[in-house]
Amino acid sequence: MRYHGTCHCGNVAFDVEGEITEALACNCSMCVRKGSLLWFVPRSQFQLRTTEDAMSDYKFNKHHITHRFCKNCGIHAFAQGLGSDGKPMVAINIRSLEGIDVEAVPVKHFDGRSI
């Protein structure tokens, strides 16, 4: 399945392919404040539709994940990093995807606070 995602104002837009079988809710200091529900996909399944200069980056803790957000509206639509297999991955905030019923997606809870 192909999904289209954006920030609130539309300055950051992307497409992603795959099947959403579950989302991850993390309780780390960043995620608990954002309220993101994350879906992890290989970088090859993600296509940015806007220019890099529409976004700002934020890294914290061990600086392994680059949190991307819109410079204009501030919405965090995705993050980038390496998966546990060492390959590039993207963590999609499914709340930024069009046509998703987030209440229908099973949520797995992750204790990021203890890392």
Identify the burial level of 81 via C-beta atoms within 10 angstroms of its C-beta, where 0-12 means exposed, 13-18 middle and 19 or more buried.
Answer: middle
Distance in angstroms (rounded) separating the CA atoms of residues 26 and 90: 15
pLDDT digits (tens, 9 = 90+) for 33-45: 888 999 999 999 9
- Averaged over 17-24, what is the pLDDT? 96
Domains for the chain: give ranges and CATH numbers. 2-114 (2.170.150.70)
- Averaged over 79-94, what is the pLDDT? 93
Q: Look up the pTM and report it.
A: 0.89
